[in-house]
């Protein structure tokens, strides 16, 4: 006779350096776009929940900003957010890019959680294995076993291609508390529509700006108005210097128009209705080091 397993519900923090694929993995696991994804470092600035629910478990993934060094208040807040998520989680998933050599920052992060006071179940995820020869993975896993011998598992996968991602779901499940689901099964994130709108616009800014200082931009949604025909949105793109404004607007306004068009298309898919998006660019040289402005934007550690 098969014994019915109790329902489990808990938080799993996704931790790691910038650009190791945390947001891509979470989006794939929950089957929805809760976190924006770009090739730029430090795209994720907030603690973002992605909720996976099936008949036997609800796994609340916490996507975190990449852990990095930085002198600005924005950087410090992002790193504090990541470590706070680890404190609150039931399980830690420490990610790395398997297609690159193990860097000093990732090694320090692994050792911090392996030897520190935060004694929680840990899994190490080696992402981007679609770019790595199989024979090169074994020495990397052996190294992780030496660095953190008490970890519960070492899982190679590809978040982008969905290779072995189900293995992670099954691995973390036994370490979640027994309990009822916290969120409705239809929810995929706890973010408000306003926050999602801001993030979707910022994603297109990052993608359009290439190497032209996207990190010094932010998006502030000033109006979200539901109408009979759809939704009208007013949003301001903040830039950190006067010289950034013409770069963002582009010749004849073409770059800003492209950002607006692509963001509107993404928002219409998200909201399931027609969207009228009005964008402006504003210079605020201190936004990324201002406690009040960072609080307004929801970027507080």
Q: What is the CATH number of the domain that holds 250?
A: 3.30.300.20
* Residue 187 in domain: no
**pLDDT for position 79:** 64
| Confidence (pLDDT) at 44 | 65
Per-position b or e across 263-287, b if 16+ CB within 10 A of its CB: bbebbeeebeeebebebebeebeeb
One domain, residues 52 and 142: yes
pLDDT at 77: 64
Same domain, 137 and 230: no
Q: How many domains does the chain have?
A: 2
Q: Are residues 128 and 220 in the same domain?
A: no
242 and 163 in a single domain? The answer is no
Q: Are 43 and 63 in contact (CB under 8 A)?
A: no
Residue 186 maps to a domain: no
Q: What is the pLDDT of residues 242-278, one digit of tens each?
A: 888 998 999 999 999 999 999 999 999 999 999 999 9
Q: Which helix (H) or strand (E) holds 238?
A: strand 230-239
* Same domain for 234 and 159: no
Q: Domain span at residue 227?
A: 193-296
Which residues does the chain have with pLDDT short of 50? none
Q: Are residues 27 and 120 in the same domain?
A: yes
Q: 171 in a domain, yes or no?
A: yes
One domain for residues 237 and 161 = no
Do residues 121 and 70 share a domain?
yes
Distance CA 132, CA 141 (A): 13
Out of 128, 147, 175, a domain closes at 175
Tell me: do 64 and 203 sit in the same domain. no
pLDDT at 67: 66
Residue 290 lies in a domain: yes
Give the bridge partners for 275, in sequence order: 231
In a domain, 25, yes or no: yes
Note the pLDDT of residue 74.
Answer: 58
Long-range CB contacts for residues 133-140, cutoff 8 Å, separation at least 24: 137/98, 140/98, 140/102
Residue 192 CA to residue 199 CA, distance in Å, equals 11
Are both 154 and 13 inside the same structural domain?
A: yes
Q: Is there a domain that residue 269 lies in? A: yes
CA 233 to CA 295: how far, in whole Å?
21
pLDDT at 213: 60
Residue where a domain stops, chosen among 175, 201, 227: 175
């Amino acid at each position: 006779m098969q014994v019915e397993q109790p329902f489990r519900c808990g938080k799993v923090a996704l931790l790691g350096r910038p650009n190791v694929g945390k947001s891509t993995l979470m989006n794939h696991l929950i089957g929805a776009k809760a976190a924006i994804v770009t090739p730029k470092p430090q795209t994720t600035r907030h603690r973002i929940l992605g909720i996976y629910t099936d008949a036997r478990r609800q796994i609340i993934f916490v996507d975190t900003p990449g852990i990095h060094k930085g002198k600005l208040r924005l950087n410090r807040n992002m790193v504090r957010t990541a470590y706070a998520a680890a404190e609150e989680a039931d399980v830690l998933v420490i990610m790395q890019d398997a297609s690159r050599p193990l860097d000093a920052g990732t090694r320090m992060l692994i050792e911090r959680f392996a030897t520190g006071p935060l004694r929680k179940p840990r899994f190490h995820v080696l992402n981007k294995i679609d770019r790595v020869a199989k024979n090169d993975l074994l020495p990397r896993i052996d190294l992780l076993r030496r660095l953190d011998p008490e970890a519960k598992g070492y899982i190679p996968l590809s978040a982008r291609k969905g290779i072995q991602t189900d293995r992670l779901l099954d691995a973390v499940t036994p370490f979640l508390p027994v309990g009822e689901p916290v969120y409705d099964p239809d929810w995929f994130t706890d973010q408000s529509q306003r926050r999602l709108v801001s993030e979707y616009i910022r994603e297109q800014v990052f993608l359009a700006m290439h190497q032209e200082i996207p990190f010094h931009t932010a998006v502030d949604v000033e109006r979200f108005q539901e109408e009979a025909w759809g939704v009208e949105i007013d949003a301001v793109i903040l830039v950190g210097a006067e010289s950034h404004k013409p770069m963002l607007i582009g010749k004849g306004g073409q770059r800003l128009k492209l950002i607006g068009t692509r963001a509107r298309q993404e928002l219409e898919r998200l909201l399931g209705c027609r969207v009228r998006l009005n964008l402006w660019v504003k210079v605020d040289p201190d936004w990324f080091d201002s406690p009040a402005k960072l609080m307004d934007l929801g970027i507080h550690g």
